[in-house]
Amino acid sequence: MANKKVSPLTDTEIKNAKPKDKKYTLSDGNGLQLLIKPDGKKIWEIRYTIDGKPKATTAGTYPTVSLKQAREKRDELKVKVSTGVDPIQEKKEIKAIVKLEEEKIEALENMQFHKIAYEWLSTLTVVEVTAIKKKRDFERDIFPYFCTYDENHNLISSKQIGEITHGELMRAITQKAKTTADTAKRLFADCVRLWTYAVSHEYADINITHKIDKSVVPKTEKKNFAKITDEKILGELLRAIEVYKGDGGIIVKNVLRFVTLLPLRAENLCTLKWESVNFEKAIITIPRSEMKVKNKNLSDFILPLPHQAVSILKEIQAITGWGVWVFHGARNNKVHVNKESGNKALRIMGFVDEVNGRKQTLHSFRGTFRSLTETYATQHKASFEVRERCIDHNERNEAVRAYTHKADYTEQMRELLQWWADYLDGVKKA
């Protein structure tokens, strides 16, 4: 039986075609037909046969694709089929190629130096202030060598980390070493860790830092923090703190009063939370994760409170007890106090003369405590281990630490810290 002849469609016929309960088609001939769906949508379909198998593909919707355009697409498809090309398979292959190219571009973008650097920085388990400093050092001293910025200095892109040479990195480090050797040394150590991370995550093939001789970074002389240990000068400092009325007001004043009694690191002092304070037991407990030494085998840091420290806390509680921080910001009470506020106050009071033993910082109070408790060891009779535990110095020998890390020195520390507070009262009055 001969095939039934199909009359070509007209635009009027297509426009007048109404949806029915079930989908149906209108044929234009030579494989082109219009599918009308119950929701009224009109879709062009092209049917063809290749390798003896009937297939169909869509060619857009009407009226977005006109009747004329649909016929042109059909004719193009038929030409391809006549040459043995399957349009559906061709479309799949093109789509796969495009996807692969997009994935390659994305992979290359994800391996940009600044992205890997930020990713590595986010993995560090360090206190917030240290994390901020490391990020700032990279952005200021390393990024400019490998990153591109717009006119407003917004970072646009950067060189792939795997394409950076050891010579390029060495130039960045040595340039910084010309002005600040200490920072250059820290940056180089961090770059070693960054490239180790990059290689282990397959962002780079080799660790270029292994090709850089450490001698490019000048050796720096290790220098201890300046601290006041002369009792006469210490007395002046303690009396100056008691009458301090400068920037930061009562918040900063009590930060200084408190740190004279308890030798906390500046970060732990300024971020001390009310939840860490136990008035009933007269102790503060700081989670190990917030301490400089984060060894999970070590207990949380517990420090007993002499009665003078308890009095200071109760005074400041009337001002800051409603919030999270024992010492909230001097200007913003939603954040903790900045350690530089305490350092600034010490400078304002005139304790900046290192040559004459009159320089003190928040961190220096740890040194003052450790030096003078060593000097007067025969009076307080606290052991070396107890004095070290007060400043959270732990046994470095792993074998020894394995036996002592759970030792409880709390009550011995309580006796020493009460002696220290009483001693400072005497120095203040002298």
- SS3 call for 333: coil
The reply to whether the predicted model has a pTM over 0.75 is no
pLDDT band at 402 (very low <50, low <70, confident <90, very high): very low
- Cα separation, 31 vs 1, in Å, equals 19
Q: Could you report the per-residue pLDDT of 16-49, keeping only the tens digit for each? A: 889 999 999 888 888 899 999 999 999 999 888 8
Q: Is the pLDDT of residue 309 over 90?
A: yes
The per-residue DSSP string of 56-89 comes to EEEEEEETTS-HHHHHHHHHHHHHHHHTT--HHH
Mention every residue, 6+ apart, whose C-beta is less than 8 A from residue 36.
Answer: 17, 18, 19, 20, 23, 24, 25, 26, 42
Q: Is the pLDDT of residue 384 over 60?
A: yes
% helix, strand, coil for the chain, step of 5: 55, 15, 35
Give me the pLDDT at residue 401, please. 41
* 40 within 8 A of 15, measured Cβ to Cβ: no
Q: Using only C-alpha atoms, what is the Rg of the chain?
A: 37
Q: Is the pLDDT of residue 273 over 80?
A: yes
Mention every residue, 6+ apart, whose C-beta is less than 8 A from residue 54.
Answer: 47, 48
Please state the length of the chain: 430
CB atoms within 10 A of CB 391: 17
Give me the pLDDT at residue 105, please. 58
Domains of the chain, first to last: 11-85 (3.30.160.390), 113-216 (1.10.150.130), 231-429 (1.10.443.10)
- Cα separation, 274 vs 327, in Å, equals 9
Q: Is the pLDDT of residue 94 over 80?
A: no
| Element holding 348 (H helix, E strand) | helix 339-348
Terminal Cα distance for the chain, rounded: 125
Q: Could you report the per-residue pLDDT of 387-401, keeping only the tens digit for each? A: 999 988 875 544 334
* 160 within 8 A of 168, measured Cβ to Cβ: no
Mean pLDDT of the chain: 86
Q: What is the mean pLDDT of residues 99-103?
A: 64
Q: Is the pLDDT of residue 2 over 70?
A: no
